[in-house]
Structure 1
Amino acid sequence: MAGEKCTSEFVQRFSFNLLPSKKFSFLEERQTLQLFLKWSMLGRISVQAYNFDQSFYPYNSRDFTLSFFQDPCVQANLRRMEAGAWQPLDSPVVSVDVEVVPCNRVSMELFDPLYSSGVLRPSGHIVKCLHDVHPDYDELRRMLQEEESEYYDVIGREERGEFLFRLFKHLCLGGELCQYEDTVAPYVDTTKHIYRDLISVQKEAETKKISVVSTVLKVSAYDEAGLCYPGRRGEEEEEQTFSYLIVDPFRRHVLVFHHCHGVGSFKL
């Protein structure tokens, strides 16, 4: 479904209402906010919660997403960042791009190979490396971004597609003036914290097995002139400007997890 656009013809319509009282601990905990400040993400990362009125199934993700962006309540409350300030969507959305993102992980075991591969030292310190373009570079960022890295396949392609890994990568790369960590623990711990806040799980009564019930959609929206969300036209290639819709089909809740790449706030 990646790269497929949905226009406004023959769309199943959903209605949405903002849930302004919904709180997210990672946006209120001072330690996490200090890390966002260090990573140049503070003030540029946000979450909103909405409820919706009909049953959701992954096969109608595109209809759901287009309905979301065209809903009057969403149009009145959803914000994008422009020139360092949050701005409303100022033009009607006519089409959307939707990718269903795999989201199956219920533990942090996905990152275990990093500790035994050479990307990290036994202490958790990230191994530094020489780089032609970036003088202060490390093997973790190189593994995350460059297929020619000798460690690129430490995390398999299927695992790289998981929302848990994508979230980790977003945090590791940070914003425009990111101050990178020397150890991996802040990235892993913050990833775990955010993931728990965003993802819904259930436990099977008989087996006690925990499974994810959320559907994660990576989304972009377009007006008549082109891309209008999560960034502006011309920002299609900036992977650190992103938006995910995280749908809980049982509660009929959808979370909008959004970040706009740039220079974050300089104070809490």
Structure 2
Amino acid sequence: MAAGGKFGFQLLSRTFGFMEDREIKDLFMKWGLQGYLSVQTYMFEKHFQAYQKDDFVLDFLRDPTVTSTLLMPSKRGGLSAVGSAAASVTAKAVPCSIISMDFFDRLRADGLVHDDGRICGCFDEYVEGFTISDEIRKMLLMEESDHYDLYSDEEKEQFLFLLFRHVVLGGGCCQYEDNVEPYLSTVKTIYKQLLSVQKDPTTKALQVLSNVFRVTALDEKGNTYYPSEDSDHPQNFSYLLVDPLKRHVTVLCHVYGGSPF
């Protein structure tokens, strides 16, 4: 066990199918995500409970094994080790209670998507660095959208919704989809592979075991450096997914890069 009662970490040689799948890799390339996304898993030594999230994340981003091996994408492309230990961290709990893709059925029911999956278009607008040319991106980014309230504020904080938002918005050089199905199938695959679930012994219903945290790390001057200096950009993110039974923590990190602007 790590000295002083701290959490200790060891990098695992774990791969994820969605990072190796040819079809998904092609989509990541199309959406401007390829080369700007990293996924790694570490094993930790102590029992974890959700109330310990701040100590856990601080220990994680100060651990010498982590700082020397945790890969941080660059907005110019490529991956490099974080290197620096955090002076402080933020760790926001992200709910992940939704386990059915039926969550997105209302995209069709509310008229953002046709029955055949085609996404309804709209006049081009430019918001927060993103080109908006369809009703889904408009719903995600513009309060003026007739569909902005299709999902409640609480639902928009769900990890499943955030993953959907991330793949739809993509990177700086993103070719958007005309059909919603590639987004949904990719999100489903990522979600299933990242989260740990089990059946409730009484109800037989599936329950998510993983605890998900969106994290940032600050240096001694109080400046954010991980996952990116621009911590306010919606496409700069690092999620820690903690499996308390296996004592694994998986890091999904992305930095918005490759922008032509």
Structure 1: how far apart are the matches of 2:256 and 2:180? 21
- In 1, Cα distance between the equivalents of 2:154 and 2:133? 26
1:228 counterpart = 2:249: no
Residues 12 and 63 in structure 1, CA contact (< 8 A), matched pair in contact too: no
**What corresponds to 1:49 in structure 2?**
41
Match of 2:184 among 176, 179, 188: 188
Aligned pair count reads 251
Alpha-carbon distance, 1:43 to partner: 1.2
- Bigger shift: residues 139-148 or 163-172: 139-148
- Alpha carbons 2:210, 2:242 under 8 Å: kept: yes
Residue 224 of structure 1 deviates from its aligned partner by 1.7
* CA distance 1:136–1:68, shift in 2 (3 Å): closer
Checking the alignment, whether the CA contact within 8 Å between 2:217 and 2:226 is kept in structure 1 is yes
Q: Would you say 1:80 and 2:91 are equivalent positions?
A: no
Q: Give the distance between the partners of 1:227 and 1:39, measured in 2 at CA.
A: 26
| Percent of aligned pairs sharing the same letter | 43
Asked if 1:127 corresponds to 2:120, the answer is yes
Q: Determine which of 51, 66, 70 is the counterpart of 1:59.
A: 51
1:101 maps onto 2:101 in alignment: no
**Conserved in 2, the CA contact under 8 Å of 1:38 and 1:179?**
yes
Provide the rounded CA distance (Å) in 2 between the counterparts of 1:51 and 1:147: 41
Question: What RMSD, in angstroms, separates the aligned Cα atoms of the two structures?
Answer: 1.6
Paired residues of 2:195 and 2:208 also in contact (CA < 8 A) = yes
What is the aligned partner in structure 2 of residue 253 from structure 1? 248
Q: Which residue in 2 is equivalent to 1:114?
A: 107
Deviations 1:98-139 (A, max 9, x none): 100011011111111101111111111111101343776110
Q: Distance in 2 between matches of 1:69 and 1:136?
A: 36
Deviation at 1:204, TM superposition (A): 1.8
Cα deviation, 1:139-169, whole Å, max 9, x if unaligned, reads 0000011122110111222211100000000
Distance 1:218 1:37 in 2: 24
- CA shift digits 1:163-214 (9 cap, x unpaired): 0000000000000010000010000000000001100000122321111010
Change (3 A) 1:81 1:136: closer
- Residue of 158, 164, 168 corresponding to 2:154: 158
Q: TM-score, normalised by structure 2?
A: 0.92
Q: TM-score normalized by structure 1?
A: 0.90
Question: What is the distance in 1 between the residues matched to 2:163 and 2:248?
Answer: 20
Q: Check whether the contact 1:41–1:263 (CA below 8 A) recurs between aligned residues.
A: no
Does the 8 Å CA contact 2:36/2:78 hold for their aligned counterparts?
no
Q: Conserved in 2, the CA contact under 8 Å of 1:12 and 1:64? A: no
- In the aligned structure 2, how far is the partner of 1:68 from the partner of 1:161? 24
Shift of 1:85: 2.8
Please give the residue correspondences for 1:166-185 in structure 2 after superposition, counting only pairs within 5 Å.
166-185=162-181
1:87, distance to aligned residue in structure 2 (A): 2.1
Q: Contact 2:126–2:132 at 8 Å: present in 1 too?
A: no
| Structure 2 residue ranges without an equivalent (≥5) | none
Query: What is the alpha-carbon distance in structure 1 between the residues aligned to residue 125 and residue 168 of structure 2?
Result: 20
8 A contact 1:44–1:81 mirrored in 2: yes
Shift of 1:90: 3.3
Contact 2:240–2:252 (CA under 8 A) maintained in structure 1: yes
Is residue 198–residue 209 contact of structure 2 (8 Å, CA) maintained in 1? yes
